[in-house]
Structure 1
């Protein structure tokens, strides 16, 4: 039997790269800890240590957070150097001002190779970025989260007042903005943006009047806070997430429905995935109107209170509402109480939507789970009898997954 040292170097490198990728959650980066990959590779043998240290793909991403609070910031420099010329993924999640500044300063030495950057820092830690007058030629994915108000005008290469190419080259942007004019103006330069997560946090009732911004490549929009629907035109939009205060009083909901209809009309987009929070204030008629605006939806994800299951079921029992619906996902918040009878409309709906009047399969998948922001030790409030009844539908051709623990 061949021993580990007899494996060809190229195969060993491939094993390391695949093992590291398998150890990470989607979109995550490795922690520089000795018990984690890729540092763990350096402890297996002298040969594996040498091979790992000379495999640039292992060192092209790094994450520094509360678990690495004792790891020197200089480690970022070591990893980036080992990655040679590869584009870099750097995640900095550190609220302590001095520590955050140290991490960012070390990362800034390689800003010319930044590709995916997530900065979750205290605002004052951004002094290194504010002082920077270079460029970010490879940057595609930018996520900015700060403890205080974000004013883009403070950043020379991030400011919309400059002609910096950073906005044109971005494909993914996640940002919380407190200055609506500056935040919306930033989008005007994002002509290649494909994915946008924007939290517009303002405390006024009305937003300024401005022409819609054309985002020709945008496919994924998550809108948190105040609605930005009146300010964008997105002909290729397929995913829409609505989580803001627009789902408040009935009057606000009516305005949101108007804005949504206008967005779909002027964009001529085909939205296939819709995610939204369904608060108690939304009426059955408003819900039906919302869904009728987007008849192309295939995947519907609703954050719901059990008290609203009757309204949801009433609307969706009509096969003319979302006629293409194939996937239904329900998420409920913690500490909700419901009886067996509360779920009967849902069970009836699932049985009804499995096939249309001509016997053709329509609804194919159903998922129900708890809000991940709730406490993991809280027991499921879905009665065991209801869980059994829902799972039984899986034997009738409907895929059912319940993640309730």
Structure 2
């Protein structure tokens, strides 16, 4: 036999042996695959009931009606009319980032977006967010807070078309001319806070078209610039006021229930030394100022007064030993009121002395 044929035959035998070896390996692998596939089938059979149980489980909050979830969302916010921030973890916008269902509920709950706090983060971002919140708030009344002068100037114009929805306004105004944004009917407005950075208008503007207005907070610059429907107010706060200006307003606020006053010292004109009857007043607070008007309180007649808070200087105390309780006794006797709560700051005598002088007052606190 030729040598070449012998070589070819040897090679063929070798290849056949390798083929048989490979086939044996493939058979072994196939057996392992079959075993694994059988194991997978067993695991899949075990998985199925577990998956069914998981699929049937829902977080309790997700089983609630959308209206209930929306109500829960409202408790995430400060009580209306206090505003949440436009940005950050305490903003209702974070509720739109949790899941699709919560986002849909938040965006369709107008009460989440009705109280808007304008922050000067950037005018563009604030304006864009304010527009979004206005749209999301639907037709609900609005509470608007602008504590930054520049933000008010730049952003507030987007609120003008919604003035029919204004319910609570808290504004810090730099240019007195910006007070003109208030000029016009606001049929739902209930509370108005205005603080002016500079002196007010030489000619005050009259704002009679606030039929529901009951609460006003003004500073010394804002007060002379506005003529408001004083007679319908039940809550009034005036800061840094001279007695004559304050007296003029109080004579028009016959329905006041709560009043906070900060009075500068200045002689009261003789023609204004006439009693001011505030027959419905229940709470009177004299805020501390750099000076005080000792005689001012004696003009007030408050038969319904239940709570009085004041700095002792308002009672005419001095370092010569005068008795501050005497002026308070005179005030109470003249008004015929029955105080339940008395709070005195910077008291010169002891709490026991006050309790001895006023045994019928249930709560007396000195600070």
User: Do these two structures clear the TM 0.5 threshold for a shared fold by scoring above it?
Assistant: yes
- Per the alignment, residue 87 of structure 1 pairs with 141
Q: Is the 8 A contact 1:60 1:86 kept in 2?
A: yes
Q: Is the 8 A contact 2:217 2:237 kept in 1?
A: yes
Match of 2:236 among 179, 196, 208: 196
Q: Is the 8 A contact 1:304 1:331 kept in 2?
A: yes
Q: Deviations over 1:232-280 (max 9, x none)?
A: 24443343433222x44xxx26859824x1x22xx6x243332225788
Distance 1:281 1:177 in 2: 15
- Per the alignment, residue 229 of structure 1 pairs with 247
Alignment pair present for 1:38 and 2:92: yes
Q: Deviations over 1:131-169 (max 9, x none)?
A: x8x643433333332322322858xxxx33xxx752445
Q: How large is the RMSD of aligned CA atoms in angstroms?
A: 4.1
Q: C-alpha displacement at 1:106, in angstroms? A: 2.0
How many pairs are equivalent? 302
Gaps of 5+ in 2: 1-56
Alignment pair present for 1:51 and 2:105: yes
Q: C-alpha displacement at 1:37, in angstroms? A: 3.3
Q: Is the 8 A contact 2:243 2:293 kept in 1?
A: no
Distance 1:240 1:127 in 2: 24
Alignment pair present for 1:271 and 2:281: yes
- Per the alignment, residue 6 of structure 1 pairs with 63
- Per the alignment, residue 150 of structure 1 pairs with 200
- Per the alignment, residue 297 of structure 1 pairs with 305
Q: CA separation of 1:227/1:40 partners in 2, compared to 1, >3 Å: closer, same or farther?
A: same
Q: CA separation of 1:145/1:365 partners in 2, compared to 1, >3 Å: closer, same or farther?
A: same
TM-score between both structures, scaled by the size of structure 1: 0.60
TM-score between both structures, scaled by the size of structure 2: 0.66
Distance 1:50 1:138 in 2: 29
Larger proportion of helix: 2
Q: CA separation of 1:129/1:281 partners in 2, compared to 1, >3 Å: closer, same or farther?
A: closer
Q: C-alpha displacement at 1:74, in angstroms? A: 1.7
- Give the number of the structure whose alpha-carbon radius of gyration is greater: 2
- Per the alignment, residue 175 of structure 1 pairs with 218
Q: Is the 8 A contact 2:152 2:173 kept in 1?
A: yes
Gaps of 5+ in 1: 202-222, 333-341, 356-361, 370-405
Q: C-alpha displacement at 1:7, in angstroms? A: 2.1
